[in-house]
Amino acid sequence: MTMTKRALPFAIIVGVLLCGAEESRACQDHDKFPGRRGPRPRRSDLGGRGPTDEASAASSTDVTYQCTAYSYAPLTAIQNSYPVQWTTATIQPNDTDATSLFGSINATLNSKFPTDLPRGTPAGDFSGVSYSSTDPDCWWTSTLCTTPNASTGLPADITNVPEPMTWGLGFDDGPNCSHNALYDYLLQENLKATMFYIGSNIFDWPLQALRAASDGHQICLHTWSHQYMTALSNEQAFAELYYTRKAVHDLLGVTPQCWRPPYGDVDNRIRTIAQALNLTTIIWSHDTKDDWEANTNGVTPAMIDANYQGIIDMALNGSFNTFGPVVLNHELDNYTMGEFMKYAPAIKSAFKQVVPIATAFNISQPYAESSVTFPTFSQVVSGSSTTPNVAVNVTQGQGAAAAVSAPAGSVTPSKAIRGVGNGGDNGGDGASLAVAAVVL
């Protein structure tokens, strides 16, 4: 084929969600994914004008404060050994570990998938690309394939959760500099989520990434620069995952074992690279559909509302009586985060459980490090534990690790083509004022 737990005060929620309506400086400075709006701040531009540690970064829901650039010593110490932010990743000079590991993976790729080659452009232009209708490479962007042929030795992608009436909660595209209102809400409602983080965003906002880990959310990867992975060379695709995983380890002290391909764009070649890095591929079963695009390209807030309500209605009509959906949500901007907060009460009412992917699959050790444990699904259901036992680097500027443990008494447990971005800008043109009114 040819392809083409305190209630959030009114002032706090309005202050955070007003961003798009007023086009504040914080919104303007943090653009969508490259090519969508003006320049974003670079690490070289940062001077200690904002938060200084994870606690201070989490202390305010003022958008300007949250999105004020800051310096972070542990990042400064390592950044020269990483790819340039928001560029296609490649193996860095003198990185012998990455070179050696890639050499082994590349040999496997050339042996097993000699005809599965890059196609299209990293920006998602597949016009003129010819691809067999038999789908030999299980290419999601072409056929929505999520189950590779058994001969490949690759497992099926995760697309839903095995627990009935359970919403698999996750957010793409973080960390967002202005995410405190969302993270405060999740904390207030005792909700944990799977956060699919972009490596370049982690480097832009390391303290915000630290908050996710210390709050007990599951961290997964969303590549270094959020591009179409099947368009990249073997080395580039490897580096996009390798350096994002390394960034999480170096700055947060944990090594993720899961990832989500941007735009869902994955095939057997890319799955093999991920598998060699011990990364489970997670897609989704249900999409909030274009929440990032509200008030542009004919997408209205009413359409986004209908998408959320449609998934809720499926729970109410019994569609999820034998499994649970993995739903595509976004930490992209204040509108997308506000939409989830608006519908969260109805989601919690319609579904029996709202949990991160790890918990839904009873993955009690979601990272390579055994020091971090998550509650099992049964522990969440029984109420014996909802809080992971977390050990992350929270010393902000010292580079040493510190422990953040579960509260006393808790049990330590055993194809939509979408744009994306970083920072704090909004889905647009006044939509957030309406969200603020409904959220309250």
pLDDT tens-digit map of 270-321 = 999 999 999 999 999 998 875 666 777 788 889 889 999 999 999 999 999 9
Listed residue (259, 229, 218) closest to 374, CA to CA? 218
* Residues acting as catalytic residues: 172, 330
Cis ω for the linkage preceding 413 (within 30 of 0): no
> What is the structure's pLDDT at 48?
42
Listed residue (336, 298, 340, 342) closest to 425, CA to CA? 336
- Reply yes or no on whether the pLDDT at 23 is more than 70: no
* Prediction pTM value: 0.81
Listed residue (142, 154, 157) closest to 281, CA to CA? 157
Query: In sequence order, what E strands does 54-161 have?
Result: 129-130, 160-161
Number of residues written out for the chain: 440
Q: Buried b / exposed e across 176-185, counting CB within 10 Å, b at 16+?
A: bbbbbbbbbb
Listed residue (421, 173, 419, 125) closest to 293, CA to CA? 419
Mean pLDDT in residue range 64-81 = 95
The predicted-structure confidence for 220-252, as pLDDT tens digits, reads as follows: 999 999 999 999 999 999 999 999 999 999 999
Mean pLDDT in residue range 170-199 = 96
Any idea which architecture 2-89+155-439 has in CATH?
Answer: Alpha-Beta Barrel (3.20)
> What is the structure's pLDDT at 390?
65
The predicted-structure confidence for 127-153, as pLDDT tens digits, reads as follows: 999 999 999 999 999 999 999 999 999
Q: Which residues contact 357 (CB under 8 A, 6 or more apart)?
A: 158, 161, 168, 170, 194, 218, 220, 258, 282, 326, 363
> What is the structure's pLDDT at 431?
28
